[in-house]
Chain A
């Protein structure tokens, strides 16, 4: 074959032959990088990954440990309210419930207040689908053609605004926080806007265009579980009312799991609370509207600070530590095996 290689190209030049082109592609001789698993590359991969994982893990754990968090399950503590809510005929009766708690340490920095739900399957397929994004963009849509059913329209044909199971089941407890300072009770100032994604607030949700909001929603009705129509969600702030209400937007961003927490309020860093929440006694005053006992769910209210890696989820840190340790251990095991084999090899060679 060797002489053919030299003779064939000349032939191809002299006459058009059926000889295939001598291109690297056609002859499968493209230049290539041929990586191979060598002991050096494998070990360095393991040790480098291990070291990286360990350091990331340590910093994550340290960060997560610096988070101050208080979580209070109030579904049981307000048992009288939860009993009341079990009977849906009492829906209009207000039920207030106050919970006292003590912060042992200061919560410094931005403090966020969440409500948490357990066993609430926001990720159920039919639940996830049960909304109309077009309606929420302020467009005029026929809700009957959406997946909103059975929360699309009333029997008389009045469409619900907003429609769908998600909107209908919106979390509607109101939670206020009071600071008991030297026997005086100070309401902690809370921010209710700026809690959602910018894209959601400005792109994904829009109110219908009209001279005022109630006119814009004329011809629609509130979802059956709501106490008030959508244009009364926040009567004080025009830019937080209707579909672009932050609480509503946050609720509409459905959670991936059945247990989740949504941002409810942020502590406004003013006056006494400029550095966060000082240690002391506090009281949550909760208007209990959202029934959870029926589906064996639980409700929480959570106060938490944040770090660069997010909330107080230790999982990532621990996983990194485990992964790093495992990688380094495997590295050592491979080294040991390699050395042993090498020794045996040289031993045999010597013999």
Chain B
């Protein structure tokens, strides 16, 4: 644009040089050259700078101010949005930066944390299988399973004084089983109340609070508590349990601690009756190996249930027990003591000892815990995916957990062509896996003729932007933490980006905070795309800071994420509103604003350019000085601000219902070079009309009373009136959402123009400040003439009609994707009730048992993983047990 300005000035300067030597030289009789000017080239040189001053309005400086105002306004809209306010913890959405609004409308990649972002980090005891019977589902009278929602009747735990009121369970048969003193059921819950490392806290009588290392354990103990097996307290050697109202004190003899390899934990207790029992809970794959052969049939039934639970995205655990022989135990505990005090190889010895006793277990059943997703997460993800936003989940969780969450929140689904798992542990393996995945997605991407390959060849070394590649189906990619470490190394980077970006969904598990940032950085580096990172915890900070836009979930996990973020709100589901509604609007508004702003300045400035050819290239302006000053400041600033603060092409419901409308933003279709050139051409066209229509209309003509009208001042007034009306009509065309404010601004600006014009052209002003207001009387004498108004009308018609026709024909002949959607919306609006979109988008979270019913069996082996427990609490560790050096952080990174 600066080049354009320089070019115009140069043309005019050359023109001036020629004119001065050709005509001006002869014209010196009447107008001698200025003293300092001695030759035409010198005059041309000076004129160049004069024109720089006059034409510099093509580079609108007021643009920056207006842009900031618009951004600020749109940020306030985000703060003010009630639909992004979370009433439960009184958190409105917050735009912490005001400069990124329009980028919200261009997001291509979302990087999301899992825990606390997709999930609530709340575990719920949801289902269980006891002795071959599955509990937890609710059936209606005809035996059909019904969906659990807010209206489903909860089980009444009022018989139990110590029950946790927040606990919700819907299957009444389980309570009945407990009440009927069903022995396996009692054993099941007894186990849950004994086999754990939870600490109780009872500040008031009956008001129990559990402090659990992992939320899973807390959920299990709470479940036992509600069903009548209340874990009430522990000392290092005892566990107090209120069993169906009856207080019992168990002696705690040993805790066989959890670790990553064992994937199980056991306790050995002596009941008040004197029985020795080992209670064990753990991952099904492990525990099934240790079962007593007599449980074979029960095992099969339980496996079925386990698969079903896993299919619903629940975390499962198997529980078993074993009655111990007194003598054997005494022997064992001795050896155990030796092992735990051994100086060398203590760990190995201990696990050997553990394994010895944990065998021939009797299967009791299985538990299923729901890792509760936040409300509306699957729907949000579905909507975002429809807007062709690619979602990458970066989590510290284990692969199985992560994939399971992926399935339950609709990231991965069974219709996907394939889900690749990258878990190689050497650089070569990872490379092979990535290549194979890519081969499958796009077989010809390895041919030399592939465009991307050619491009990579061409510009080797320096980082470049990769074009988007299209896979031949919908794919998912799961990559492991250590594989990722290899993949992020130099030469594999490219491979990773190409493969991963072809997939619709990427899940990275067991990644460190640093890796999260590296992944974001990688995509930023190779893809010309706007990235967004969303997370809630301190471990997401680096990722949030790296991405173009960081979003913090102001949830439970402290404020670090929020403080380093650009936008924050309380629930993941608000993301769709932030992007699809606010982001989209901001983007469209900003684009419209820029288009219009450039247009109006081109139309304004170029008239001077044309006039140069008729005024001896003397840098004579067309308009009155006052008009030039006030044009951007007063006459045209408010309407365009009004448009860019209020405009909506479709309202929020429709843009959520048709996420495809988001796609043009990602491709930046509304403001790019082509669009800019188009609005420049439109501006040039308008300026031609705006100059030559008044020129033609005034050339050698007179008023109807024979007096002058072709004078410079009348011409200036006419040209500026034409211009102002034309740009006002133009903004009227651009505005698709006319609020009262818009009307007020547009009509107001026009009337202010006429008011100011008549004021500064009035007698009084002239007599007070003669030098400043030389246009006295022009408005009165000119605007009373019919041919002036006819010329104004003609310029409007000529400027506006082509635009109208062009726009209409464009949507008619070559509709863009979003035009089609808009058309659909228009048709849908004609039909009276639009399908209530909010209902569709928001469903209770339990509904997701409907998804992914039958996905692979392998994921049935969902494990409690690294988050189970550590027997480190001072009470739990009897002196004999060395506290296990537990490496796992309590929560996934």
Contact = CB atoms under 8 A, between A and B. Distances in A.
Interface of A: 1-2, 4-5, 7-8, 11, 17-22, 26-37, 39, 42, 45-46, 49, 53, 56, 60, 110, 112, 114, 116, 119-128, 130, 133-134, 137, 139, 150, 165, 168-169, 195-200, 203-204, 250, 253-263, 266, 291, 294-296, 304, 306-313, 315-316, 319-320, 323, 327, 330, 334, 337-338, 341
Contacts of B23: 119, 121, 295-296
Given A20-B92, A121-B615, A150-B32, A197 B707 contact: yes
B712 A310 contact: no
Contacts of B741: 30
Q: Which 4 A-B pairs have the closest CB atoms?
A: A199-B777, A256-B715, A315-B696, A311-B702
B83 A4 contact: yes
B544 to A, nearest CB: 22
B1 interface: no
A1 B841 contact: yes
Interface string B720-749: 000000000000000011111110000000
A60 to B, nearest CB: 7
Contact of A133 (B27, B81, B771): B771
B87 A4 contact: yes
Contact of B776 (A112, A199, A261): A199
A316 B790 CA distance: 8
B702 A263 contact: yes
Given A133-B771, A204-B766, A295 B805 contact: no
A42 B805 contact: yes
Interface string B605-649: 000000000111011110000000000000000000000001010
Nearest to A326: B801
7 contacts: A17-B90, A20-B79, A165-B30, A168-B30, A295-B26, A310-B709, A334-B808
B451 interface: no
A310 B704 contact: yes
B725 to A, nearest CB: 15
Nearest to B796: A49
A199 B778 CA distance: 8
Interface stretch (B60-68, B534-542, B780-788, B866-874): B780-788
A2 B704 contact: no
Contacts of A124: 24, 27, 31, 615-616, 618, 620
Interface in B787-824: 787, 790-791, 794, 797-798, 801, 804-805, 807-809, 811-813
A200 B707 CA distance: 12
A134 B706 contact: no
A253 B712 CA distance: 8
Nearest to B93: A20
B797 A327 contact: yes
A121 B738 contact: no
B233 interface: no
A19 B801 CA distance: 46
A253 B648 contact: no
B540 to A, nearest CB: 24
A20 B81 contact: yes
B774 interface: yes
Interface in B687-705: 693, 695-705
Given A134-B771, A320-B794, 8 more contacts: A26-B76, A134-B770, A169-B31, A254-B711, A257-B698, A295-B26, A310-B787, A319-B697
Nearest to A331: B805
A4 to B, nearest CB: 7
A127 B31 contact: yes
B762 to A, nearest CB: 9
Given A134-B770, A316-B791, A37 B712 contact: no
B646 A32 contact: yes
B85 interface: yes
Given A20-B81, A46-B805, A204-B777, A257 B710 contact: yes
B31 A165 contact: yes
B882 interface: no
Contacts of B839: 2
A206 to B, nearest CB: 10
Interface in B651-683: 651-652
B77 interface: yes
B763 interface: yes
Contacts of B804: 37, 42, 45-46
A268 B83 CA distance: 79
A150 B36 CA distance: 12
Contacts of B742: 32
Contacts of A310: 701-704, 709, 785, 787
B410 interface: no
Interface of B: 23-24, 26-27, 29-32, 34-35, 76-77, 79-83, 85, 87, 90-92, 376, 585, 614-616, 618-621, 646, 648, 651-652, 693, 695-716, 736-742, 763, 766-767, 770-771, 774, 776-777, 780-781, 785-787, 790-791, 794, 797-798, 801, 804-805, 807-809, 811-813, 826, 836, 838-839, 841-842
Contacts of B809: 334, 337
A110 to B, nearest CB: 7
Contacts of B797: 49, 53, 323, 327
B838 A112 contact: no
Given A34-B736, A121-B27, A203-B766, A20 B85 contact: yes
A330 B76 CA distance: 44
A126 B618 contact: yes
Nearest to A169: B30
B706 A313 contact: no
A260 B615 CA distance: 13
Contacts of B771: 133-134
B212 to A, nearest CB: 31
Nearest to A33: B738
A125 B20 CA distance: 13
Contacts of A169: 29-31
A46 B26 CA distance: 49
B81 A27 contact: yes
B105 to A, nearest CB: 15
A296 B28 CA distance: 12
A197 B777 contact: yes
Contacts of A133: 770-771, 774
Contacts of B781: 197, 199
B701 A311 contact: yes
B801 A112 contact: no
A257 B804 CA distance: 33
Nearest to B86: A4
A311 B699 CA distance: 10
Given A19-B90, A21-B80, A128-B620, A341 B812 contact: yes
A34 B737 contact: yes
Contacts of B651: 29
B838 A2 contact: yes
A337 B810 CA distance: 11
B699 A309 contact: no
A258 B616 contact: yes
A29 B77 CA distance: 11
B127 to A, nearest CB: 26
Given A19-B90, A133-B771, A116 B26 contact: no
B835 to A, nearest CB: 13
A7 B791 contact: no
Contacts of B646: 28, 30, 32
B711 A256 contact: yes
Contacts of A27: 80-83
Contact of A308 (B31, B585, B704, B738): B704
Nearest to B621: A125
Contacts of A257: 614-615, 695, 698-699, 710, 715
Contacts of B707: 195-197, 263
B697 A313 contact: yes
A84 to B, nearest CB: 15
B126 to A, nearest CB: 23
Most chain B beta carbons < 10 A, residue from A60, A259, A306: A306
